[in-house]
Amino acid sequence: MKRNLTELTSHIYDLLIVGGGIYGACIAWEASLRGLSVALVEKADFGAATSANSLKIIHGGLRYLQNADFKRMRESIRERTTLMRIAPHLIHPLPVLIPTYGHGMKGKEALRLAMGINDIISCDRNQIKDPQKHIPNGWVISQQECQQLLPGIPYQGLTGGAIFHDAQVYNSERLTISFLHSAVKKGANIANYVQATGFLQIGNRISGITAQDSLSGNQFEIRARMVVNTSGPWINRVLDLVEESRERSQVALARAMNLVIRRPLSPDYAVGISNRNSNSATNKGNRLLFMAPWRGHTLIGTDYTIWDGKLDEFQISESEIQGFLTEINQAYPSAKLTRDDVSFVHGGLLPRIGVDPKNGEPILAKHYQICEHRSAAGLISVVGVKYTTARDVAQKVVDRVFQSWGQKPPQSLSSVTPIHGGEIDNFAEFLQNAIAKKPHELSEGNIHSLVYNHGSAYPQVLKYLNNQFESDKAPVDKYSMLKAEVLHALREEMAQKLSDVIFRRTELGSVGYPGDEVLQVCAKTIATELGWSYTKIQQELQEVNKIFRSTSPMHIY
């Protein structure tokens, strides 16, 4: 992945994508794989906005059963299997426990029935060779078993629990990068820190964009036969750049928040726990709070509120964090969470379709949208609602692109083609082999992390470990692996800033502050590579520290 802005301006691309979150990344891969010439620009870093804030669950859609939305369930189940097939290093099955109360709709009997229906609807879910990716049937457990698995669970009315499997993405930021890597290998030209500032229009036909390099301030034009707008929460703002589009309806937004908790509250299972005990305190509707084990920590989500503010003022307030902690503590009192337990806050904006009149809660959009614009031929906007289904939506978008040219879309192979790092038939064996042939200076933990993050591409990172020893005759130290990852991020993955390395190329910042020393090592390695001054190093360190301290982690520029 090389950032080449001259190249961006010297072609007429088939497709130009504005926005490098998971939706833009999947469309870039899908279109490149089907033979289109593709460019993509991202105004910050790839995957730095909504896509970096996900709860990391690759949903099988069990909850859609409540509304008998079998179509959406099938879509999610299929995508869960697909992602495990094409990115086996990043997507892994995750057992989920739901305590059951009483004998009604959320009781044990109803959940037993739901497990059975889910198993039938997902009967083809194990059509995947790797046994590590197989998802067992769901089952129910007794009240005592539930208490053993989740000590301290509110007892009153507890009748047992249901256990089923979903999947978790080990590193959602790297999944986005892996889709982009794959697109680049097929010839796509992508650039981070390039903002679309306007559209090139001939009459009502879009023929490209005007863009600005946020790093140098340079402005230029990029031409394409078709432009796809995947700018997530910025969709309205990007559409405002189109002449004569001011009359269209705006996509309304909801603020979503997850908390990263320093402690493993339930190390072996994710838990879906009802907030039934907490309604009076927080005035939230009855909903399921989801606690997922995450690298020795716990991810808890998701809290939603209406967002009518300006994007530039996106913020999660301390009182909102406190309110969510209160709700969690009432749903699961033995957690006894305090503000000090929170090591990081995830926040992002999602499309909503209304407001629940009963409690003022946002009603989130359930379905993606692919919109062609009457006043701007050659422009398609995509509104995604789930990380899980981005690849599937990308397939549909690219079909639509071919159809709009009056062509029959070529067959899509993205559901069966491993993405960058995904060339692994059997994950457990692959990991064992990698550990068995590890360089002596690395620990098993180093290899584990490399394989989970980079999959079959991990030797490309190791190459930089060897470079260090050969070229600099540098002694092996405890940071050699870290420096190799930083160099790999800079030279192979277009990292431009310290924050790109800490939050999206490595897993260093995923659960909270990694410590002064680690940040210093990374900053100095980058400084040597890019020729940063002392002042620049301090600025970059300050920026990263601000993100860790801040409650508005979504990058808004």
Ligand X SMILES: Cc1cc2nc3c(=O)[nH]c(=O)nc-3n(C[C@H](O)[C@H](O)[C@H](O)COP(=O)(O)OP(=O)(O)OC[C@H]3O[C@@H](n4cnc5c(N)ncnc54)[C@H](O)[C@@H]3O)c2cc1C
Q: Is 294 in the site for ligand X (CB under 6 A)?
A: no
- Of the candidates 50, 159, 414, 456, which one interacts with ligand X according to CB under 6 A? 50
* From 6-14, 378-386, 414-422, 541-549, span contacting ligand X (CB under 6 A): 378-386
CA distance 406 to 469: 56
Q: Which two tokens stand for residue 167?
A: 């999947």
* From 17-25, 336-344, 398-406, 460-468, span contacting ligand X (CB under 6 A): 17-25
* Smaller CB separation from ligand X, 47 or 160: 47
Q: How many CB atoms lie within 10 A of CB 69?
A: 16
Q: Is 53 in the site for ligand X (CB under 6 A)?
A: yes
Q: Is 43 in the site for ligand X (CB under 6 A)?
A: yes
Q: Is 393 in the site for ligand X (CB under 6 A)?
A: no
Please name the residues in contact with 462: beta carbons below 8 A apart, sequence gap of 6 or more: 439, 450, 484
Q: Does the CA dihedral 149-153-158-161 come out positive or negative?
A: negative
Q: Residue written as tokens 């990698």?
A: 434
| Inter-residue contact 289 to 327 (CB < 8 Å) | yes
Q: Is 48 in the site for ligand X (CB under 6 A)?
A: yes
Q: Is 348 in the site for ligand X (CB under 6 A)?
A: yes
Q: Is 178 in the site for ligand X (CB under 6 A)?
A: no
The residue nearest ligand X at its CB is: 21
* Smaller CB separation from ligand X, 159 or 168: 168
Please choose, from the candidates 379, 384, 352, the residue with its C-alpha nearest in 3D space to the C-alpha of residue 251: 352
* Smaller CB separation from ligand X, 179 or 464: 179
Can you say how many angstroms the Cα of residue 506 is from the centroid of all Cα atoms in its chain?
14
**241-269 burial, b if ≥16 CB within 10 A, otherwise e?**
bbeebeebeebbbbbbbbbbbeeebbeeb
* Smaller CB separation from ligand X, 125 or 483: 125
Q: Is 179 in the site for ligand X (CB under 6 A)?
A: no
* Smaller CB separation from ligand X, 199 or 427: 199
Q: Which two tokens stand for residue 154?
A: 């509110």
**Amino acid occupying residue 451:** V
Q: Is 242 in the site for ligand X (CB under 6 A)?
A: no
Q: Does the CA dihedral 335-341-346-351 come out positive or negative?
A: positive
Please choose, from the candidates 131, 129, 87, the residue with its C-alpha nearest in 3D space to the C-alpha of residue 454: 87
Cis bond before residue 302 (omega within 30° of 0): yes
Q: Is 362 in the site for ligand X (CB under 6 A)?
A: no
> Binding mask 193-232 vs ligand X (x if CB under 6 A, - otherwise)?
--xx---------------------------------xxx
CB of 192 to ligand X, least distance (A): 9
Q: Is 61 in the site for ligand X (CB under 6 A)?
A: no
Characterize the bridge pairing of strands 252-261 and 219-229.
unpaired
Q: Is 385 in the site for ligand X (CB under 6 A)?
A: yes
- Of the candidates 159, 178, 388, 499, which one interacts with ligand X according to CB under 6 A? 388
Q: Is 24 in the site for ligand X (CB under 6 A)?
A: yes
Please choose, from the candidates 280, 273, 284, 260, the residue with its C-alpha nearest in 3D space to the C-alpha of residue 342: 260
Q: Is 41 in the site for ligand X (CB under 6 A)?
A: yes
- Of the candidates 28, 31, 36, 57, which one interacts with ligand X according to CB under 6 A? 57
CA distance 408 to 411: 9
- Of the candidates 8, 33, 34, 54, which one interacts with ligand X according to CB under 6 A? 54
Q: Which two tokens stand for residue 9?
A: 């301006």
* Smaller CB separation from ligand X, 42 or 540: 42
Q: Is 82 in the site for ligand X (CB under 6 A)?
A: no
- The DSSP string of 273-326 is EE-TTTHHHH-PPS-EEEEEEETTEEEEEEEEEEE-S-GGG----HHHHHHHHH
CA distance 238 to 446: 42
- Of the candidates 27, 49, 115, 431, which one interacts with ligand X according to CB under 6 A? 49
* From 43-51, 117-125, 153-161, 434-442, span contacting ligand X (CB under 6 A): 43-51
- Of the candidates 301, 362, 418, 422, which one interacts with ligand X according to CB under 6 A? 301
CB of 342 to ligand X, least distance (A): 14
CB of 442 to ligand X, least distance (A): 32
* Smaller CB separation from ligand X, 56 or 108: 56
**Amino acid occupying residue 220:** F
* Smaller CB separation from ligand X, 350 or 490: 350
Q: Which two tokens stand for residue 224?
A: 């394409």
| Inter-residue contact 299 to 267 (CB < 8 Å) | no
- Of the candidates 85, 346, 352, 488, which one interacts with ligand X according to CB under 6 A? 346
Q: Is 258 in the site for ligand X (CB under 6 A)?
A: yes
Q: Is 238 in the site for ligand X (CB under 6 A)?
A: yes
- Of the candidates 5, 13, 19, 100, which one interacts with ligand X according to CB under 6 A? 19
CA separation (Å) from 12 to 15, 129, 207, 418? 9, 41, 9, 28
- Of the candidates 5, 8, 15, 21, which one interacts with ligand X according to CB under 6 A? 21
Q: Is 302 in the site for ligand X (CB under 6 A)?
A: yes
Helices 516-530/534-549 angle, 10° precision: 140
Characterize the bridge pairing of strands 139-141 and 158-169.
antiparallel
| Inter-residue contact 135 to 48 (CB < 8 Å) | no
Characterize the bridge pairing of strands 194-202 and 205-213.
antiparallel
CB of 384 to ligand X, least distance (A): 4
Q: Which two tokens stand for residue 389?
A: 């289904």
* From 19-27, 100-108, 135-143, 531-539, span contacting ligand X (CB under 6 A): 19-27
Q: Which residues lie near ligand X (CB under 6 A)?
A: 18-24, 41-44, 48-51, 53-57, 59, 195-196, 230-234, 238, 256-258, 301-302, 346, 348, 350, 384-388
